[in-house]
A = this chain, B = another copy of it.
């Protein structure tokens, strides 16, 4: 080891899902939305004034914060925006999880939680989901340094109701509880309605899934003003200008068009339900997903074989091969009807 290496932070790098770029591929591996952003976004691109690029963006992201505040009927001091929900969650870990006691999150959940805890040297424990991949709420009654739950959970797709979330909050009023709602719009009920009653609750959402904007990198958190001030202070101490001009202008348009948003969601939910029926016919078991993906297991064929077969046909799905409890499952994003039909055809040919 060279002398200068001694001061370097060594982390096990997170490996994101692959981003293949193959003509004609069917990409069902990263839960992107199969439909383009709202038409207003295209208009905003065409109308964008290039001269804005030479100027720093508004460091308060006012236009975007205000459009979210209006949409969710909260005060603008209750909204924090970041470079995708990963940025928001990373800042939240740094801002709110500073205890010697372990933070808590399930053994099977969004894998970045463990990565951030390691990065910032935050102690953590990962209580196991039960056999049906449900969170055991009693595991979250013990003393802890904070809690983060994805709801719906990933990659299981399972959503808990607000009674469940409120029970966790009731038992944890002395620490920050973060509910990561990346997939909430596909059928769950948001904990946003609890923020007035629980000042230690932070709800995090994203433009990447339901709003068709994964490429734009916009995430946000909503909570009481004090929490938002704390995370904003940390953000201003890290990078004042995180949201570039295009994020602000294009992002606002994606929030405006609620009719398009609802229509888009309905199509995806309908396609998800059709996919469940089709996959069950082929011998798959599916968890009760309230997201834009399904978490599935076949009765006889292994996930590894299915993944490899599909990849040969340029159909990409996701498998978490390094997590023993779920290594025989596939996570399949909901695409267009045509994409799902191609998936069914490929599976049918192989399985039957």
Contact = CB atoms under 8 A, between A and B. Distances in A.
Contacts of A200: 2, 4
A176 B5 CA distance: 8
Nearest to A212: B54
A307 interface: no
Contacts of A99: 6-7
Interface in A97-146: 97-99, 115-116, 118-119, 145-146
B94 A9 contact: yes
A156 B48 CA distance: 35
Interface in A154-185: 173-176
A174 B96 contact: no
A232 B56 contact: no
Nearest to A208: B56
B53 A36 contact: yes
Nearest to A209: B54
A5 to B, nearest CB: 8
A185 to B, nearest CB: 15
Interface residues of A, number: 88
Nearest to A57: B215
A86 B46 CA distance: 29
Interface string A36-57: 1100011001101011111111
Contact of A11 (B4, B233, B244, B250): B233
Interface stretch (A12-20, A269-277, A314-322, A342-350): A12-20
Interface string A9-32: 111111110010100000100101
A7 B41 contact: no
Contacts of A71: none
Nearest to A82: B239
A53 B30 contact: no
Interface in A222-262: 226, 230, 232-234, 236-247, 250
Contact of A86 (B14, B118, B208, B240): B240
Contacts of A41: 50, 53
Contacts of A237: 11-14, 115-116, 118-119
A191 B254 CA distance: 43
B55 A9 contact: no
Nearest to A214: B56
The 3 closest A-B pairs by CB, nearest first: A3-B174, A215-B245, A13-B233
Given A32-B54, A83-B239, 6 more contacts: A3-B173, A5-B226, A7-B96, A9-B95, A19-B55, A37-B50
6 contacts: A8-B95, A15-B236, A52-B215, A83-B239, A86-B238, A214-B241
Interface of A: 2-16, 19, 21, 27, 30, 32-37, 41-42, 45-46, 48, 50-59, 83-84, 86-87, 90, 94-99, 115-116, 118-119, 145-146, 173-176, 199-200, 208, 212-217, 226, 230, 232-234, 236-247, 250
